Amino acid sequence: MITRDGFKEVAITTLTFGAGGITCAWAAVTISPWWWIGAVPLLATWGFVLSFFRDPPRSIPSDPGLMVSPADGKITEVARLDGWPGIDEPVLKVSIFLSVFNVHVNRAPCNGRVVATQYERGEFLDVRHPESGMRNERNSITIDPDADYGPIIVRQIAGLIARRIVCHIDVGDRVTRGDRFGMIKFGSRTDLIVPASSGLEPAVKLGDVVKGGATILMRPGQATR
């Protein structure tokens, strides 16, 4: 499957790199092997774009109270912080780094209603830079979960290569755990921030590889509400 947000890019690269690569490959087979010099990079570029915009189906966990990963990638931060804009109490934050080889479709971590969105222009630092979360272009989505966890925030953060954040949900929309809601094109980071008082505990650790919608990122621990 190809995400709808990649139809334009896939069509353009298919008509250019794909068609050119297939033509060169045909010439390499029928005319001269030297044509492979052109065929290989063209076909590799076409394959990379198809791979980047892939949107595989996922099996979404159904147990109540879970938070699933909003993105594919590697866990680069699991931290407890004193507070966060929009959450007036200590929070638990989990960050996911998406390389250009990961699926880039973002998914809702839980059932709930969108109560706020905030898009902020910024820089395009490498998302592993310690200040990228506050300086890079980003989009924050605040969800009021059906479970009594208080507001949770999903942040889409553009990176060094990523230059476009896509988000299809807005204030008032309802989301279901695992729903696709957007993507970040060509490398990025996605954060999930929840109130510490929710009682949710990390189900992942630094370095873990996660899949959007399928991997349990947080699960209920000893609730403190």
Apex 184 CA angle, 45 and 7, nearest 5 = 55
> Phi first, then psi: what are they for 37, rounded to 5°?
-60, -35
Which of 116, 112, 95, 70 lies closest to 198, judged by CA?
112
**Residue 40: both structure tokens together:** 């290989």
**Residue 36: both structure tokens together:** 């492979």
> Phi first, then psi: what are they for 24, rounded to 5°?
-65, -40
Tally helices (H) and strands (E) across the chain.
Answer: 4, 14
- The distance of Cα 129 from the centroid of its chain, to the nearest Å, equals 18
Residues 6+ apart with CB under 8 A from 160: 124, 125, 126, 127, 187
Q: What dihedral do alpha carbons 105, 110, 111, 114 form, nearest 10°?
A: -70
Q: Which of 95, 140, 188, 198 is catalytic?
A: 188
Q: Are 156 and 173 in contact (CB under 8 A)?
A: no
Q: Is 197 a catalytic site residue?
A: no
**Catalytic residues, which ones?**
188
